[in-house]
Amino acid sequence: MTVSKRERQHAILELIGTREIASQEELRQLLLKKGWDVTQSTLSRDLRDLRVARVPSPQGTRYVAGDSGADDGSRAPLAGILPQLFLSLDGVGPMLVLKTVIGGAQPVASALDREASSDILGTIAGDDTILMICRSEQARERVARRLSTLAKRPR
Amino acid sequence: MTVSKRERQHAILELIGTREIASQEELRQLLLKKGWDVTQSTLSRDLRDLRVARVPSPQGTRYVAGDSGADDGSRAPLAGILPQLFLSLDGVGPMLVLKTVIGGAQPVASALDREASSDILGTIAGDDTILMICRSEQARERVARRLSTLAKRPR
DNA sequence: ACTATTAATGCATACTAATGCGATGCCCCG
DNA sequence: CGGGGCATCGCATTAGTATGCATTAATAGT
């Protein structure tokens, strides 16, 4: 039944927040004492649904209720988001400054980081501005050319 | 060899920060391409040492470099946290770009600020990247040398 | 009420990760 | 040199997690 599944998952989060649980079998035992009788299979699926992380350490591995795992747009490919968010591009020396719509800098910067171009030493992003440090002026020009091309592509 | 172990673990953190890695075997293959040839056993131990979390989700499980746990950051000395958080260092002109594990930039930058070196005009930190503006290229080289030394210190 | 459809599970098993143990390579001290 | 103390790592094996498939429920439509 649907309701009990939710309640069970809630109970799981409580247990995980309260104690140090090392395995699904251990979790199963604890749930048993609380009246829930399910198999390890179910727990595996519950933990996946809840995105509960398994963190190993020299003191043993433990389950921890994660960040919420909301993977918003932070995994979108550059080519997909740049046309929507891009505003302008300019630079000096080895630095490139890209402006985006408000709130657009973080997703664009994270897409940029993921591409791991050797032309870019790193990026720092605020809310609507990204500073890219390039390896050289030449590198900056290459990056600028590529970004303007990507930005102009209509989706 | 101690050195290669630490380097390998850094390579692991970089890979994990860049791609979606689902298993130790997959990680092993990626490391192989980078010239590291180790077994799954070793990766299991490395991931434990690094406290890398394994997070399941409906889209598949993946490894994510967690918070690194212990340090609450804001008052830790540079030498203490850098080895844990450091990923890479690079620069052009008077600028130095330091990459850290996700979430590591703020604590490192604040530790840097507290040292108040006259070689560094200032720092700007995002989530995993720090930009340092140095007084000169020579200053940048000094700072870079010092930071790599600190970063390599075994915990 | 009957059948189709979808969810939730258990079972058995495939897959993945952790670990006991021994081998190896260092480093240091006598 | 030679042996002790350490740390690292691979191999083999065990421990633990994920999943395909079948079953049972609950729900909806006619």
Beta carbons within 10 angstroms of residue A74's beta carbon: 11
Residue type, B19: R
Which one is predicted more confidently, B116 or A71? Answer: B116
User: Chain B within 8 Å of A77 (Cβ-Cβ)?
Assistant: no
> Could you name the CATH architecture of B3-65?
Orthogonal Bundle (1.10)
**A75 vs A87: CA distance, rounded Å:** 21
The Cα B131–Cα B99 span in angstroms is 9
Query: Could you tell me the two tokens for B3?
Result: 């050195």
Would you give the DSSP letter of residue B19?
S
Q: Which residue, among A74, A77, A146, has the nearest Cα to A115 in the 3D structure?
A: A77
| Domain A78-150, architecture per CATH | 2-Layer Sandwich (3.30)
Residue owning tokens 């953190």: B13
Q: What is the mean pLDDT of residues B89-93?
A: 92
- pTM more than 0.75: no
Nearest to B97 among A47, A125, A133 (CB): A133
* pLDDT for position A97: 93
**Helices B40-50 & B24-33 angle (0-180, nearest 10):** 100
C-beta neighbour count of A72 within 10 angstroms: 8
The answer on pLDDT for B108 being more than 70 is: yes
Residue range(s) occupied by CATH 1.10.10.10 in chain B: 3-65
Please check whether residue A32 is in contact with residue B36, taking contact to mean a CB–CB distance below 8 angstroms: no
Q: Are A76 and A107 in contact (CB under 8 A)?
A: yes
Q: Does any strand D atom come closer than 7 Å to the Cβ of B122?
A: no
Cβ of B56 within 8 Å of Cβ of A64? The answer is no
> pLDDT tier at B73 (50, 70, 90 boundaries)?
very low
pLDDT tens-digit profile of B122-139? Answer: 898 888 899 999 999 999
User: Is the pLDDT reported for residue B69 higher than 50?
Assistant: no
Q: What is the pLDDT of residue A116?
A: 75
Q: Say whether pLDDT at A1 is over 80.
A: no
Residue A126 has pLDDT above 80, yes or no: yes
pLDDT tier at B11 (50, 70, 90 boundaries)? confident
User: Which of A47, A55, A119, A136 is the best substitution to test chain B (most B C-beta atoms within 10 A)?
Assistant: A55
Measured to protein CB atoms, the chain D nucleotides within 7 Å are 7-12, 15-20, 25-26
Q: Is the pLDDT of residue B92 over 90?
A: yes
* Lookup result for tokens 């749930």: A31
Start and end residues for every CATH 3.30.1360.40 domain found in chain A:
78-150
Residue A131: its chain B contacts at CB < 8 A?
A: 124, 131
The per-residue pLDDT for B72 is: 46
Instruction: Please check the confidence at residue B76 and state whether its pLDDT lies above 80.
Output: no
Calculate mean pLDDT across residues A50-74. Answer: 75
User: Which residues does strand C reach (CB under 7 angstroms)?
Assistant: A 1-2, 4-5, 8, 37-42, 45, 54, 56, 60-61; B 1, 22-25, 40-41, 44-45, 47-48, 54
